[in-house]
Structure 1
Amino acid sequence: MKRKRTNSFNSSQQSISSIITRSKSKAAKFYLPEHCWEHILRLLGDNPLRDDEEDPYKYVSLVCKQFLSITNRLRCYLSVEDHHTPPLLRRLFERFTITILDLSSYDGNLDTLLCEISLFPLKITSLDLSDQPTIPAIGLRYFSQKITTLTSLTCTSIHAIHYTDLVLIADCFPNLEHLALNDCDDISEEGIGHVLRRCCKMTHLDLDGCSNLKMTIHFEVPNLKVLDLSMTKVNDDALFVISKNCRGILQQLLENCHDITEKGVRHVVENCAQLQEINLRNCSNVNSDVLVSLILSRPSLKNVTTPHRYPFNDKEMELLLRQGCNVY
């Protein structure tokens, strides 16, 4: 009896060992290297259907230490608020690879905060200073001396932003590619011109809501791809000059620009040979009747927002669809 039980026990042990070996072998076949998991989790974070306030890595990071390590590297956005003290900031900067810094909700002394942040070896590429009363000149100057990787700056709804502030921005961050100055009433054409001359890599310029701005660009800006002049005082003459000097524009946004007519639109369509999108919503002085001929004259156009809901006839719709252009 003893020998039978021993044999049975040994047989069971061998079976279990065999199962474990086969399982390990199968697991090895399905093993993914860390860079593959990083790519998968990055796609999870970029999901457009996700709620903006939902942390895409919250539950994934609980699965295992490997996923926690990877998601820590992928958490690149940080919004700093008043309760973020220097010791807490230090721990956050040490744990995560922060490249996008949002200071729009900070109510304290921004100059002091920017100087403190500059002490860390960071590679910030995007900085948001929106909804602040003024530009923190001292802090930005010190920040730019320590952190030279910034390519995107957002300064929306800063009502006390003047020519000297724009000169400071251009001198501190010559590698800027994206500048947003939405709803800044006091900015001037001269200040914007200084930025564009100094920041030769600029591709995106957002001036939406700068209601007092009469914008003209009197020199070549070959790299500019997206220009948002919605709700500004731009007119036909200005569009002629801009389109002559910014021929590489892909997106021209002119929503609620009441000083332009179809003449100005024609300048843009004719001079910007790569134009893909133009937005003319609520441009009350643009005659919609000429839009079809303008669109068809620029085959690169793929998205056009008309001033009003223009009733295209069947033949016009057929021509537009053949060109692959979406009209709204």
Structure 2
Amino acid sequence: MEAAAYSKSNAEKNPKERKLAAACPYLPDEIWEIIFKFLNDGDTNCYLEPLSIVSKQFLSITNRLQFSIAISDETIPFLDRLFQRFPNLRSLDLSKARNVNLLLGHNEYFPLGIKSLNISNKGDLDADVLVVLSKKMKNLTSLTCSRMICMLKSDLFFIADCFPLLEELDLSYPMNISQYDFIPDDDDDREPLALPKLRKINLSGNCIKEYRQFITYLFKNCKLLEEVITKDMISMDEADSDSGSDSNNDSDIDIYSDIDNDSDRSSDDDGNDA
């Protein structure tokens, strides 16, 4: 609301936009769309809002050019109006929406064309939420689940079941981590990760036991995978789980800033942790 008021105030003080519209009343919407796309600043849409108050024609055009939107608890009750106003939305940011139950109560209004979804800062990964969203966003290609309470290997497989067309996946920086989050097991060879189109995955800040084995598993199962981000990743050594040692002990944890497909990390890295 403050941004809208600010934009309206600017338009009133500096009527260049209105003069522009008055000088070219004959231009079709298609030409204006090209002009507005040239002026627009990526996903911020900072130039669309002041243009939208110039005229009804400009309002209609800018509404069609709005491809991303962030939803908060305050805007959830108006989702039906928002989605009607912006018919071409492709990206939905729910990271600031805390009331998940209220959000799910309005899921029937979610547009079907969403390609990118951000559900970060939601505590635990809620299976019910993912199932509901997956039914409305069957063509989702980008999912961000950053800064959740925790992130487990089982969550990764559940996400794959819900959104099999993902090309980008962000599971970075869970708030709580342990040596049991990503543990390789015998089922890994028999249970492929159903993300055939995955090109990029962000595992920064996670705790992964035998990380090389897990990364190899990812590349083996995701044939199109090009990038694995592992900044601040914690890799658990193969220490005896019955030793009772603290999981934060330096002898059990190696911290790597990035793997960079570096096959030359020698055993010296492990030896230096002793």
TM-score bucket of the superposed structures, by smaller chain:
0.5 to 0.7
Q: Distance in 1 between matches of 2:143 and 2:30?
A: 30
Aligned 8 A contact 2:107 2:132 in 1? no
> Any conservation in 2 of the 1:118–1:143 contact (CA below 8 Å)?
no
Q: Which residue of 1 aligns with 2:182?
A: 188
Give the % identical residues. Answer: 33
Aligned partner of residue 140 in structure 2, secondary structure: coil
1:256-280 per-residue CA deviation (whole Å, 9 max, x = no partner) reads: 726979963699xxxxxxxxxxxxx
Matches of 2:119 and 2:263 in 1, distance apart?
Answer: 33
C-alpha displacement of 1:143:
1.9
Q: 8 Å contact 1:104–1:132 — kept in the other structure?
A: yes
What's the counterpart of residue 251 of structure 2? none
Change (3 A) 1:212 1:222: closer
Structure 2 counterpart of 1:188, which letter?
Answer: F
Q: Provide the aligned C-alpha RMSD in A.
A: 3.6
1:205 paired to 2:201: yes
Aligned residue number for residue 231 of structure 2:
230
Task: Say if 1:170 and 1:34 are closer, same or farther in 2 by CA, change over 3 A.
Answer: same
Q: In structure 2, the residue corresponding to 1:103 is in which secondary structure?
A: strand
Are positions 1:114 and 2:104 aligned together? yes
Q: Is the 8 A contact 1:118 1:142 kept in 2?
A: no
Structure-1 residue corresponding to 2:113:
123
Report the counterpart of residue 90 of structure 1 in structure 2. Answer: 80
Find out whether 1:42 has 2:37 as its counterpart.
yes
1:157 Cα offset (Å): 0.9
Look up the equivalent residue of 1:210 and give its one-letter code. N
Letter in 1 for 2:134: S
Contact 1:211–1:231 (8 Å) recurs in 2: no
Instruction: State the secondary structure of the residue aligned to 1:148.
Output: coil
Residue type at the aligned position of 1:92:
L
TM-score (norm 2): 0.65
Shift of 1:231: 1.6
Residue identity matched to 1:65: K
Offset of 1:222 from its aligned partner? 2.9
Map 1:210-221; keep pairs closer than 5 Å: 210-212=206-208, 214=211, 215-218=214-217, 219-221=220-222
Counterpart-to-counterpart distance in 1, 2:140 and 2:103:
17
Is 1:167 the counterpart of 2:166? The answer is no
Letter in 1 for 2:216: I
Q: Is this contact kept in 2: 1:171–1:198, CA < 8 A?
A: yes
Q: Secondary structure at the match of 1:205?
A: strand
SS of corresponding position for 2:92: strand
1:109-161 per-position Cα deviation (integer Å, ceiling 9, x unaligned): x2552352244443211111111111121121122123212111101111323
Quick one: which amino acid aligns to residue 98 of structure 2? D
- For 1:228 and 1:99, the matched residues in 2 are separated by 25
Structure 1 pair 223–168 and aligned structure 2 pair: CA distance change class (3 A): same
Query: More relative contact order in 1 or in 2 (CA 8 Å, sep 6+)?
Result: 2
* Length, aligned pairs only: 215
Partner of 2:249: none
TM-score by length of 1: 0.56
State how far apart, in whole Å, the 1-side matches of 2:261 and 2:157 are. 34
Would the aligned equivalents of 2:207 and 2:234 in 1 still touch at CA under 8 Å? yes
Structure 2 distance, partners of 1:69, 1:173, is: 32
Q: Deviations over 1:221-265 (max 9, x none)?
A: 331222212122469xxxxxxxxxxxxxxxxxxxx7269799636
Q: Say which SS state the counterpart of residue 216 (structure 1) adopts.
A: helix
CA distance in 2, matches of 1:166, 1:262: 21
- Mapped to 1, the partners of 2:196 and 2:158 lie a distance apart of 15
- Whole-angstrom distance in 1 between the partners of 2:61 and 2:260: 53
CA contact (8 A) 1:104 1:128 kept: yes
Given candidates 134, 137, 142, the residue that maps to 1:144 is: 134
Give the Cα separation in 1 of the matches to 2:48 and 2:257. 45
Name the SS of the counterpart of 2:256 in structure 1.
coil
Q: Which residue of 1 aligns with 2:65?
A: 74
Unaligned stretches of 5+ in structure 2? Answer: 1-22, 237-254, 270-274
Looking at structure 2, the residues matched to 107 and 77 of structure 1 have their Cα atoms a distance apart, in angstroms, of: 19
Task: Tell me which moved more, 137-146 or 158-167.
Answer: 158-167
